Structure 1
Amino acid sequence: MSESTMYSLKYPIGEFEKPAQITAEHISQWIEDIERFPIRIKELTHDLSTEQLKWPYRPRGWTIKQVVHHCADSHMNSLMRFKLALTEELPAIRPYFEDRWAELEDSLDDDLSYTQMLLEGLHYRWVKLLKSLTADDLKREFVHPEHGQQFSLAENIGIYAWHCNHHTAHVKQALELKGES
């Protein structure tokens, strides 16, 4: 398999590209993407068999169930990062080893119903918070020590809208490949 094919399987919608100027329209669309994510994932996965949940989205990639469980882990971390940035001055957030988390027992569970409930509740609260942010709030930042960079909340909304769409595309891709990655 070529390197470009592996890249397109890993990043089916491409990598996140921050707009030169983040507008209110960007923020609105991104929040809508985040809000719709639990419904979109549930629609894609609710009728899948245990065998289908084990289909990877690319060679040596996560399975459908690992992707869904990862999204709950990642989005919980993101909500906490937003709250830290809103309540502290330039906090350093804590990174985590998402690849290791994806191998833990709860990320290998064939029952997605609890993760779906978690995503629904989490996204409800997250979107409620995001919709309440002022222009000044959107400028608040946190430091990601893994990258040594500061990220604004406005940019982070875009990153997580991309994350939602990225992993939705992974699930769709796994279903198209039917376990034959």
Structure 2
Amino acid sequence: MTTEELEKLKYPIGRFYEPKNIDDQLIQTWIEDISSFPIRIKDLTEKLGMKELNWKYRPEGWSIKQVVHHCGDSHLNSIIRFKLALTEDTPSIKPYHETKWAELADSLEDDITYSLKLLEGLHHRWVKLLKSLTKEQLERTFYHPQQRREINLAETIGIYAWHCNHHLAHVRQALDAKGGFN
């Protein structure tokens, strides 16, 4: 498999690029993507058996169940980052080793029911928070030590809308491959 083919499997919707102009309409579209994510991931996965939940979306990639569990981990971290940025002046956030987290026992659990429930409740609260943000609050930032830059909350909403769609595409990719990457 070529490097280009592997890149397409890793980033089926492409990488996230911050738009030059983030307007109210774009923010609302992104919030809708975040809002609808729990039902979209549930619709794709709730009827899958253990065999399908263990299908990978690319060679040496995560299984469907790991993707679902990862979304819970990632989105928990995100809402915390939002709350830190809203209550502190440019806090430095704590990065985490998502690939190592994906190998822990809870991320290897075949039952994704609890991660789906977690995403449902978490996204309900997260979207309520996102919809309440003022223009001034959207400009608040946190410092990401791995990226060595400040990131504002408007861009962060876009990153996580992309993240939702990125992982939905991974699940579809795994389902389309029918275990072909295992």
The TM-score normalised by the length of structure 1 is: 0.99
Q: Describe the SS at the equivalent of 2:69.
A: helix
Question: Map of 1:129-140 to 2, 5 A cutoff?
Answer: 129-140=129-140
| 1:51 corresponds to 2:57 | no
Separation in 2, partners of 1:34, 1:18: 17
Separation in 1, partners of 2:21, 2:43: 33
- What is the number of residues matched between the two proteins? 181
For 2:155, the equivalent position in structure 1 comes to 155
Q: Describe the SS at the equivalent of 1:22.
A: coil
Separation in 1, partners of 2:7, 2:145: 26
Question: Map of 1:72-111 to 2, 5 A cutoff?
Answer: 72-111=72-111
Separation in 1, partners of 2:64, 2:149: 31
Separation in 2, partners of 1:128, 1:151: 21
The TM-score normalised by the length of structure 2 is: 0.99
| 1:176 corresponds to 2:144 | no
AA of the residue aligned to 2:140: R
Separation in 1, partners of 2:5, 2:148: 30
Separation in 2, partners of 1:132, 1:59: 41
AA of the residue aligned to 1:128: K
AA of the residue aligned to 1:172: R
Q: What are the ranges of 5 or more consecutive residues in structure 1 without an aligned counterpart? A: none
Q: Describe the SS at the equivalent of 1:150.
A: strand
Which string of whole-angstrom CA distances, capped at 9 and with x for unpartnered residues, describes residues 60-119 of structure 1? 000000000000000000000000000000000000000000000000001111111100
Q: Describe the SS at the equivalent of 1:151.
A: strand
For 1:114, the equivalent position in structure 2 comes to 114
1:133 deviation in Å? 0.1
For 1:64, the equivalent position in structure 2 comes to 64
For 1:30, the equivalent position in structure 2 comes to 30
Off by >2 Å, runs of 4+ in structure 1: none
Separation in 1, partners of 2:146, 2:17: 19
Identity value in percent: 61
Q: CA RMSD in A?
A: 0.4
Q: What are the ranges of 5 or more consecutive residues in structure 2 without an aligned counterpart? A: none
